[in-house]
Amino acid sequence: MPLKSTAPAPDAHRAARPSLDVDRIRRDFPILLREIGGKRIVYLDNPATTQKPRTVIDAIIHFYEHYNANVHRGAYKLAEEATAAYEGAREKTRAFLNAASTEEIIFTRGTTESINLAAYAWGRAYVSAGDEILVTEMEHHSNLVPWQILVKEKQAALKYIPIEDDGTIDLQKAVAGISPKTRLVAITHVSNVLGTVNPVCEIAKAAHSAGAVVLVDGAQSAPHMPVDVRALDCDFFALSGHKMCAPTGIGVLYVRKSVLETMPPFHGGGDMIRQVYRDHATWNDLPWKFEAGTPNIADAIGLGAAIDYLTGIGLDAIREHEIELTRYAIQRLSAVPSVTLYGPRDARLRAGVVSFNVGDIHPHDLATIVDSKLNVAIRAGHHCAQPLMNRLNVPATARAGFYLYNTEADVDSLVEGIVQAKEIFKV
């Protein structure tokens, strides 16, 4: 599985710069203006969470300072303004994903809760003994553990689509894994470790032909590339706001309306009801049937501001920028002796995520050194993907993830930090 490279070091000529004005973009993010020990921050932990632009921060502050009130229930001006902003964020999310209706957009705490909602409300209603749920070997725990719990409870089976040695999925093997017993295919759009962009459209077509539904974990795709849920033809699509410049604690579950209409509620309580009697209750309209209690109003508004920011820049431009950075990072890292890269070598087959190991340096030690020496923030560990680590035959990797505010200079700093770590450990 590891990909050891013999590629030469980069020459003086670099690829033409993408169209983003990264210097201007960086000024939009207050935290990136901070220095530690006289050195700028090189933030490369974007798959874990992204930084927030001033416009998002200001939108949240403005809510609390000017129209803080609960939504849907109040007949006074502040409540009307809060409701309009909250539901306005839902419409922005619908447009961002090209969903057919705001009825299909449920606000959650993030991708993890979104997938658990699907597993609980849909899975417990429609998965039975002997059924199969199909996932890949590269899934994040959030798109694996809920299904493990469900199949154990229902006496169903969890099956795996294997990954190839280059970190990709063989479409023929994926389709072959779909059987008449398959009730659900749950697949990550983009691997948070390998960066692999999976062939979701083709898999969805095969799954639907077999009568199965399709859930897409979009945590690592929605922030980085255009997403059209109707073109993907998925039944569920989950994302986290904090991975796309929005606050933590806000996420989205898109559900195709024809599927959503058949699902029982996830949580019970206020706002998800129409009428409550002593012995039963009836449910609110979609999507509020799945949003019990006071929602995360401020952070939903923050998500709407983040969507405005990203669409203003352009997801196509962000995607091209990350492809160029990933290509450059693979080139630079491949030229460093003892570096092992994981995932596809073609930058267009992956998103801006590069996982690697350096000789026998533990990833945690490497991350500590590059941070202490050069303020380079990378992730180290199993990345909530332990079955994939087992497939790679490693306990952990280091991971650098790029976003719209990263530059080739950030990659150079990472490489410089790796060289210093090699000198310390004499690798």
CATH 3.90.1150.10 domain span(s) along the chain: 22-53+315-425
Q: Residue for token digits 């062939």?
A: 199
Euclidean distance between CA atoms 134 and 181, whole angstroms? 10
Interval 251-262: pLDDT, tens: 999 999 999 999
pTM for this model (two decimals): 0.94
pLDDT surpasses 60 at 126: yes
Contacts of 96 (CB under 8 A, 6+ apart): 222, 227, 307, 310, 311
Q: How far apart are the first and last CA of the chain?
A: 22
287 preceded by a cis bond (ω within 30 of 0): yes
CATH class of 56-312: alpha beta
Which burial class, exposed, middle or buried, applies to 387 when counting CB atoms under 10 A from its CB (0-12, 13-18, 19+)? middle
Q: Residue for token digits 């779909």?
A: 178
Residue 326 to residues 105, 343, 355, Cα–Cα distance (Å)? 32, 12, 11
| C-alpha dihedral sign at 291, 297, 303, 308 | positive
Is 384 a known active-site residue? yes
- For residue 262, give the DSSP letter: T
Where does the pLDDT of residue 14 fall: very low under 50, low under 70, confident under 90, or very high at 90 and above?
A: very low
pLDDT (0 to 100) of residue 10: 37
- Which backbone phi and psi does 293 adopt, to 5 degrees? 80, 180
Q: Which of these, 80, 82, 181, 179, lies nearest to 130 by C-alpha position?
A: 181
Return the amino acid letter for 252: V
Interval 152-193: pLDDT, tens: 999 999 999 999 999 999 999 999 999 999 999 999 999 999
Q: Are 218 and 189 in contact (CB under 8 A)?
A: yes
pLDDT surpasses 70 at 75: yes
Euclidean distance between CA atoms 340 and 190, whole angstroms? 20
| C-alpha dihedral sign at 24, 26, 31, 37 | negative
pLDDT (0 to 100) of residue 8: 34
> Following CA atoms 316, 317, 318, 322 in sequence, which dihedral angle do they give, to the nearest 10 degrees?
100
Rounded-to-5 percentages of helix, strand, coil across the chain:
45, 20, 40
Euclidean distance between CA atoms 404 and 267, whole angstroms? 36
Q: Are 217 and 247 in contact (CB under 8 A)?
A: no
For the chain, give the number of residues: 427
Percentage of residues in the chain with pLDDT exceeding 70?
96
Say whether domain 22-53+315-425 belongs to CATH 3.90.1150.10: yes
Question: Average pLDDT of the chain?
Answer: 95
Euclidean distance between CA atoms 399 and 379, whole angstroms? 5
Catalytic pick among 201, 234, 245, 384? 384
pLDDT surpasses 70 at 9: no
CATH 3.40.640.10 domain span(s) along the chain: 56-312
pLDDT (0 to 100) of residue 2: 46
